Structure 1
Amino acid sequence: MPNTAPAAANSADRQSSVLDVVDRVSEMLFGLFMALTFVGAVHSATAGPDAGHTMLRTALGCNLAWGLVDAIMFLVRTIAGRGMRAKLAQSVRQAPDRATGIAAIRDALPPTMNTIATDADLDPIRARLASVASLSDRVRLDLADFLGAVRIFFIVVLSTFPVALPFIVFDDLYMALVVSRVLTLIMLFGGGMALGHYAGFSPWLAGLGMTALGVAVTMAVIALGG
């Protein structure tokens, strides 16, 4: 009978590297906030006919840099998490008895899961890990991980344009700033609704809450001279 546990583990690893709703929306919101704060900061120190292009270049340059940083950190988090799971599996396989193996699994659980999971619940997991004849000791990144990092980079970078493009479209900097902030708040509302729907909260309340956070950030930028 073929042993399917390693294949299942590899499949789970590949699935976990794919960006979910929280990842995508969080990266979009991060890009929005970064662009918003930079546009406000540059607006306070920029004047002249080329001010709009200066803001676009500044905001885009900022998000290009942070998109790259965020993509790299995604890869770091992915391989660190994969290493942690491999270490856990090895600890369970090398445990001298049932209680030690269950304790190793319990230490890796979130606190909320620890309060409801009994030893009887965890024992089948321990038994399955202990029965695997061999697990790969190599912790590595695959193509799906790098594609996820590329998606993060583009999400952060593309979220710059709704914030910065009004400064190219409108000659009046004040009008451009108003349109930029309105578009930002609309996107924050949409992102909040998506997160609320995913988490089982009221999408409207989550959208309003994220919009309120955006207003607070905008007010802080204005107070600081943006």
Structure 2
Amino acid sequence: MSQWFQLGLQNGNSPLMEQLTFFHDHALLIVVLITSIVTFFLSAIFVNKFLHRYLLDGQMIETIWTVLPALILIVIALPSIRLLYLIDEINNPALTLKVTGHQWYWSYEYSDFNDIQFDSYMIPTNELEQGMYRLLDVDNRVPLPFNQPVRLMITSDDVLHSWAVPSFGIKMDAVPGRLNQSSLMINLPGVFYGQCSEICGAGHSFMPIVVESISSGEFLKWLESQI
């Protein structure tokens, strides 16, 4: 869950989000180092009253200035490509959840079971109870077992939507007539919030997502109660 005046990323609650956070820190460290070096060079030019003939013209310094940025780009690109493959990788999911976007609510269907589906609407402000989050809580949360691989099948019934939960590192577009696929594995139990991240009309800001991570035993009990 995000906090007021938070500048960094939310805590990662999936292996994918943890890897995304590591890559963010990795890239940010390189950016800070480059910025510091360039700032030092610029300040030295203004302060130094003498000219360094090897910095004005020289084959060696030209070679360094050409090769070093290329190496930096490789150091950034390799973990980025690895992450792209991890995002698309789906290995033996224990559960499949179909997500359908509507104007302006979400529908969920547990495809591995018969007739387990429901709609999820935002709770209006005048119906909120103590401890609920305004514009974020819904009437039907999505229960999912943690430490279990889940396959997400995401589509839309009308216009473009986007199913996004920041703490899971997931932002998948819901496209009409197309079935997009993503994977999810939650590390910890808890309640996690997200919102539609595609401008889908007047009710765009009223399409929250609430996922409740529970144990496998509790999830099986919930399934029995729905059958």
TM-score (ref. length: structure 2): 0.26
More strand by share: 2
Question: Which structure ranks higher in relative contact order (CA pairs < 8 Å, sequence separation ≥ 6)?
Answer: 1
TM-score (ref. length: structure 1): 0.26
More helix by share: 1
